[in-house]
Amino acid sequence: MVLRRNVLHFIGYFLDGDNDVADVVIDLGLLPALLALIEGENQELCRMALYHASNIAVGSQPQIHAFLDCGFLEPVVLILLDDFSPTRCRHEAGWTVANLSTRVSGDEKAEQAFIEGGGVAGLSAALLLPDRGAKELAISGITSLFEGHDSEGSQSQGSLLAAIRSSSAPQNLRAIRYSRGGGPEDHELRKACHTLLTHHFPEYSKRARV
Report pLDDT digits (tens) over 84-114.
999 999 999 999 999 999 899 888 899 999 9
Burial code (b: 16+ CB inside 10 Å, e: under 16) for 74-109 equals: ebbbbbbeeeebeeebbbbbbbbbbbbbbbbbebee
Predicted TM-score (pTM) of the model is 0.86
**Alpha carbon of 145 to those of 13, 21, 158, 184: distances in Å?**
30, 28, 12, 25
What integer is the mean pLDDT of 198-210? Answer: 86
Query: From CA 204, how far away is CA 171, in angstroms rounded?
Result: 7
Which pLDDT belongs to residue 13? 47
Residue 83 phi/psi, 5-degree rounding, is -65, -20
Residue 71 has pLDDT above 90, yes or no: yes
Q: Mind listing the pLDDT tens digit for each residue in 6-36?
A: 556 556 545 666 677 777 778 878 899 899 9
Query: From CA 22, how far away is CA 31, in angstroms rounded?
Result: 11
What integer is the mean pLDDT of 195-209? Answer: 90
Higher-pLDDT residue of 120 and 149 is 120
Query: From CA 98, how far away is CA 140, in angstroms rounded?
Result: 8
A 10 A CB-CB count for 208 gives 9
Residue 64 contacts residue 52 (beta carbons within 8 Å): no
Q: Mind listing the pLDDT tens digit for each residue in 138-190?
A: 999 999 998 876 555 566 677 888 999 999 999 999 999 999 888 888 999 99
